Amino acid sequence: MDFDQILLEISRYVQPLFGKGKVADYIPALSAVPGTKFGMALHTVGGETFQIGDAEERFSIQSISKLFTLSLAMGFVGEELWRRVGREPSGNPFNSLVQLEYEHGIPRNPMINAGALVICDVLLSHTKDARQAVLDYMRVLSGAHDIVFDAAIARSEADTGYINLALANFLKGNGNLENDVEAVLDLYFHQCSLVMSCSELSRAVLHLANGGVSWHLSETILTPGQVKRLNAVMLTCGLYDAVGEFAYRVGLPGKSGVGGGIVAVMPREYSVAVWSPELDAFGNSMVGGAALEYLTTLTGRSVF
Ligand code: GLU
């Protein structure tokens, strides 16, 4: 497959879409990013790398981090995890309080904020230093040892995180947090503040296309069973409440964030990350979604 040519075609195809979405503006660090940024990186399970545009530029990965913290937590508690968080699509906004209330403090899935807060709680209970554990995990998976949290973003998240505060308090009130609300929120705001490039993100999810074996260490990160489960959760819960639309158009398991990034995997073939900050009404990258749709169209292959 000539991925160099395919990425070039994609970058041309998406041009008319710039200016149609809206860059996230709830914190200054996100609203300051130019909407015209576009990067895409793809890694094959055979070891080839392809990229185009701003693929080496780091951006705020935001909710894409939920995929990695889930993966880390699954390693600590296995199937026990599902007693505290569900695995069904939410069909509701990612920060819905209503849903959490009528489901008695059991978040619908780990990809919405309430679910991610429970995952943070699991990490705090199973590590000495949960922030460092998340950072170490991202560094190992991506092979980039200088990945850091962006302190300004983490602070802004905390300054504006009123709804997350409400969700965490509601979880605590329902007995679904073991640790202090403050500690859980601190970890959550920090995971949102991770900054990574498309190239680093694509490498960090390559094992999910490769039966759980990491790209650079030839080391098993996850078992094939865990890979199946993570990819299933991505496919059904990874794109906010537009997950059906993404499956319909793109046909790959993926996870998005309001920084404009999306990661996706084509099992046994490749991993891919795309970044473009202008979002659609659901909070997904408008250009990023179109780019991935065009990728599966041009390759003629998806998980279906
Ligand atoms: N950091 C934001 C929040 O938790 C957004 C995360 C995202 O959906 O990408 O509200």
Place of tokens 């659609």: 280
pLDDT at 34: 95
Nearest-angstrom CA–CA distance, 289 and 194: 21
- pLDDT single digits (tens) 259-303: 999 999 999 999 999 999 999 999 999 999 999 999 999 999 999
pLDDT at 119 over 90: yes
The reply to whether 63-192 shares the fold of 3-60+196-299 is yes
**HSE-up (13 A, CA, CB side) for residue 299:** 23
114 has a pLDDT exceeding 90: yes
* Centre of ligand 1 from the C-alpha of residue 201, in Å: 17
Stretch 214-228: mean pLDDT: 87
Q: Is the CB of 157 under 6 A from ligand 1?
A: yes
- 193 touches ligand 1 (CB under 6 Å): no
From 63, 100, 196, 275, the mutation candidate for ligand 1 (largest count of ligand atoms within 8 A of CB) is: 63
* pLDDT of res. 90: 85
**Are 198 and 184 in contact, with CB atoms under 8 Å apart?**
no
Which residues contact residue 147 at a Cβ distance below 8 angstroms, ignoring those fewer than 6 apart?
A: 135, 138, 139, 194, 195, 196, 200
Regarding the beta carbon of 192 and ligand 1, being less than 6 Å apart is answered yes
Q: How confident is the model at residue 197 (pLDDT cuts 50, 70, 90)?
A: very high
Residue 156 identity (one-letter amino acid) = S
pLDDT at 256 over 80: yes
- Mean pLDDT value of segment 81-109: 91
| Residue-range domain boundaries for the chain | 3-60+196-299, 63-192
What's the pTM?
Answer: 0.97
The amino acid occupying position 257 is G
| CA–CA separation, 244 and 230 (whole Å) | 17
Task: Judge whether 88 and 232 are in contact, CB under 8 Å.
Answer: no
**CATH number at 63-192:** 3.40.710.10
CATH 3.40.710.10 at 3-60+196-299, yes or no: yes
CB atoms under 10 Å from CB of 303, counted, come to: 16
Averaged pLDDT for residues 238-265: 96
**Terminus-to-terminus CA distance in the chain, angstroms?**
19
Distance in angstroms (rounded) separating the CA atoms of residues 153 and 156: 5
The predicted model gives 101-121 an average pLDDT of 95
Q: Give the model's pLDDT for residue 276.
A: 98
C-alpha dist (Å) from residue 166 to 85, 173, 258:
17, 10, 20
